[in-house]
A and B are shown apart, each in its own frame.
Chain A
Amino acid sequence: MLKYSNDTLVALWNDFRNGSSTAFSSIIKWYYKDLFRYGCKFTQDEHLVKDCIQNVFLSLWKNHATIGETEHVKFYLLTCLRRDIAKELKKGKTEISYDNFSSESFFDLGLNAENRLVDREKSVELAKKIKETLKSLSKRQQEIIYLRFYMNADADKIAEIMEINHQSVYNLLHDALKKLKTVSEKFIICLMFLLTISGL
C-alpha cells in the first residue's frame, strides 16, 4: 500500500506532524482497516479493538510535535496497536497473551462460496489441508506468517512489531516451515520462496 503513493503519504504524515487535523484524519482513514483486521486477531471484542485504535491515534495526536519522519507508518501503527491491546487484555503486561486469542487461528481462510476459483475438488482438498496445518502452528508462528504474507512486513519489522529478537523470528519460522512441508510440496515451495525473500 505504501508503495503506490508514497509521496502523498509522506506529505500527509508531515502535515500531520505540523498539526493538520485533516491530514491526520486522512491517515486514520488510510490505515483503519488494516489496524482493525490485525487487532481482531487478538480479541473477540470489536469495541475493545476500536477503543485501542482510538487510544493509539489520540496519543499520536498528543505527541504529533515530537514524532519523527517515517516511511513505515503502517508498521509503526501496528506496533502501537499491538502494545495497547496487550495492555488492555492483561493489565500492565506488555506481552500479548495468546490465551485471549479470538479465533482459533490467525487465518480465517475464506473457504466459502465467495471463492469461485476454489471449486475444483483438488483445490478444496488442498485448501482444507493448508487450513488445518496453519491452525496447528503456534500462535506466534501464525502471527509471523500473517505479518509477512498479508501486511508485507519484513523480518526487521516483524521483530519490531512482535517485540522479539531477530533470531526468534527465524527460529519460529524455520519450525513452522518444517511443519508445513508435510502439507504439499507445491504449496511449501511457494511459501518458502515468499518467506525467504526480502530479508527473511
Chain B
Amino acid sequence: MAAMRNNPYKTIGDFIADTSFRDWILHTDPAAEVFWHNWSHMNPTKQDLMENAKELLYILKTSGKSISDEEIEIEIEKILSAIKEDPSLADNQTSISPNRTVIFFKRNWWKVAAAAVVAVVGVWTMNVSHKVAAVKESSYETFTVAVKKTADEFVNTTDSTQRIKLSDGSTVMLSPKSKFVYSGTTSEKREIYLDGEAIFDVAKNPSRPFIVYTNDLVTKVLGTTFWVKAYAYKKFTLVSVKTGKVSVFKKNLFSEKHDATPYELGGLVVTPNQMVILDEEKILRKKITDKPDVLPAPKTITFQFDSTPIKQVFAAMQEAYGINIVFDEETVANCSLSANMGSETFYEKLNLICRSINATYEIIDGSVVINTGGCH
C-alpha cells in the first residue's frame, strides 16, 4: 500500500496527497478500499476529515472516455496476431505461439467476447453480468469436455453448503449455486475446475499436486485449507488461505513446468491469513484477510506484556497470526509495551501496539510495515 510513511493525516491535504487514497476514489481500487475501510474503523476521530477529503476527490473524478475489458481483449488479439503475421516481428517462433490449450481458450473467449460486444451496445452496465457469465461458462464447459471421460462433476443445487469427500481424501465445502469438476479419481493429477465458491481441505500428497482452476486464476497446493470465491457472474476472484501454503497464478501465465518457481510464472505465494484478489482490471493483489485468525500452534502464545521490548511483541504477533511484520529494529530498540491482550482481533491488537509506541502501519503485499520515529 502506498500510504505515506509517518503521515499523521491531520488535514484534508494529507489524505488527498496519499496515492492509495486517490487510487481508492479516483480509480475505485478494491485493495485500497479495504485498506481505507479498516483505517477509518481504527481512526474514528479522523472520519470527518476523511469524508471531506473523499468529497473533494469525488469532485475531481473524471468521467473521461473508458474502454471495456472485452474491447481491450480484442485490441490485444489484434496486436498479438499482427506480431504473428509479420515475420520481421516474430524473431522467435516458439516463444510467440502459446500451447494448444491456451489457444483453445483464447479462441473461445474471442468469439464470445465479439458476440457480446455486438449485443450489448447501449445497455452496457445492465448486461455485464450476463456477458461475464457466458464467457466463464464456456471455460468451465471446455474443461468439462476435455476431462469428461475421467472426471466427476459435482453441482450444489441446494440452499446450503455441501460437504463432498473426494477419492484422494480431500474435502470440499461447496457453497450453493456452485459446481466443480474433479479429474483426480482416475488421473495422475488432481485437478479441479471451479465455478463458484468452495473451501478446500486438501489431503497431503506431494507427488500429486492439487490444482484448482477458475476462469482466470490457478491455485496450486501441496496440503492445506483454503477458500476460493470465483462466481461466474462476479467480477472478482478471491483465494484465501487458512493453513498451509498455496501459490496462485493468472491462468494465462500458468505453466506446468515443475521446476519453475511461482515468481518466474508471475505468481504469488499465499500463506495463512493472506488472500489474493484478482480484480475487475485483472490485476492480482495480495492482502491480509479481513479477520485474521490465530493459527493453531504447538505452544500457546500469550499477549501479556510487561515492559516487553517491542521487538518481542511483534515476534509474538507474527508467530500467532503468521503475518509478516516488517520494522526497523534499530529505530524501535527503545520501545516497549505493557499490555494485557486476549480476544481482540488482529487489527485491534496492531492498532493498540502502534498507538502505544506512536507508530503507524501500512499493509504492503500482505505484510504489515511499521512506520515510527522510535521512542525516546
Judge whether A37 and B55 touch: CB under 8 Å: no
Q: Cα distance A112–B64 when bound, in Å?
A: 12
Q: How far is the CB of B9 from chain A (nearest CB, A)?
A: 12
* B75: A residues at CB distance < 8 A: 28, 32, 50, 53-54
Q: Does A159 contact B (CB under 8 A)?
A: no
Chain A proximity mask over B269-296: 1 for CB below 8 Å, otherwise 0: 0000000000001111110000000000
Judge whether B55 and A118 touch: CB under 8 Å: yes
Judge whether B63 and A36 touch: CB under 8 Å: no
Closest to B253 in A: A22
* B102: A residues at CB distance < 8 A: 22
* B207: A residues at CB distance < 8 A: none
Judge whether A3 and B268 touch: CB under 8 Å: no
**A11-B266, A58-B83, A115-B58 given; A37·B66 CB < 8 A:** yes
Q: How far is the CB of B193 from chain A (nearest CB, A)?
A: 20
Q: Does B186 contact A (CB under 8 A)?
A: no
Judge whether B26 and A150 touch: CB under 8 Å: yes
* B65: A residues at CB distance < 8 A: 36-37, 40, 46
**Interface size class, chain B:** 35 or more
* A36: B residues at CB distance < 8 A: 65-67
Which stretch from A67-75, A91-99, A122-130 is at the chain B interface?
A122-130
* A127: B residues at CB distance < 8 A: 59
Q: How far is the CB of A130 from chain B (nearest CB, A)?
A: 6
Judge whether B16 and A3 touch: CB under 8 Å: no
Q: How far is the CB of B175 from chain A (nearest CB, A)?
A: 28
Q: Does A61 contact B (CB under 8 A)?
A: yes
Closest to B55 in A: A117
Chain B 85-135 residues near chain A, CB threshold 8 A = 88-89, 91-92, 95-98, 102
Q: How far is the CB of B263 from chain A (nearest CB, A)?
A: 6
Of A4, A24, A54, which one neighbours B82 at CB under 8 angstroms? Answer: A54
**A54-B79, A110-B63 given; A193·B14 CB < 8 A:** yes
* B365: A residues at CB distance < 8 A: 4-5, 7
Of B16, B26, B83, B92, which one neighbours A190 at CB under 8 angstroms? Answer: B16
Q: Cα distance A190–B27 when bound, in Å?
A: 19
* B264: A residues at CB distance < 8 A: 11, 15
Closest to A194 in B: B17
Q: Does B11 contact A (CB under 8 A)?
A: yes
* Interface size of A in residues (CB-CB distance below 8 Å): 62
Q: Does B78 contact A (CB under 8 A)?
A: yes
* A149: B residues at CB distance < 8 A: 22, 26, 60
**A3-B2, A149-B22, A187-B56 given; A108·B64 CB < 8 A:** yes
Of A5, A32, A192, A194, which one neighbours B72 at CB under 8 angstroms? Answer: A32
Q: Cα distance A33–B20 when bound, in Å?
A: 18
Question: Which residue of B20, B61, B88 has the most chain A CB atoms within 10 A of its CB atom?
Answer: B61
Q: Does B313 contact A (CB under 8 A)?
A: no
Judge whether B23 and A1 touch: CB under 8 Å: yes
Given A186-B12, A193-B11, A193-B13, 13 additional A-B pairs, CB 8 A: A19-B91, A19-B95, A21-B83, A22-B253, A26-B253, A26-B266, A28-B75, A36-B67, A41-B64, A53-B75, A123-B55, A130-B60, A190-B53
| Chain A to chain B: the 8 pairs with minimum beta-carbon distance, closest first | A110-B63, A193-B13, A19-B95, A40-B65, A127-B59, A21-B96, A190-B13, A3-B2
Residues of A within 8 A of B (CB): 1, 3-5, 7-8, 11-12, 15, 19-26, 28-30, 32-33, 36-37, 40-41, 46, 50, 53-54, 57-58, 61-62, 65, 103, 107-112, 114-115, 117-118, 123, 126-127, 130, 149-150, 152, 186-187, 189-194, 197
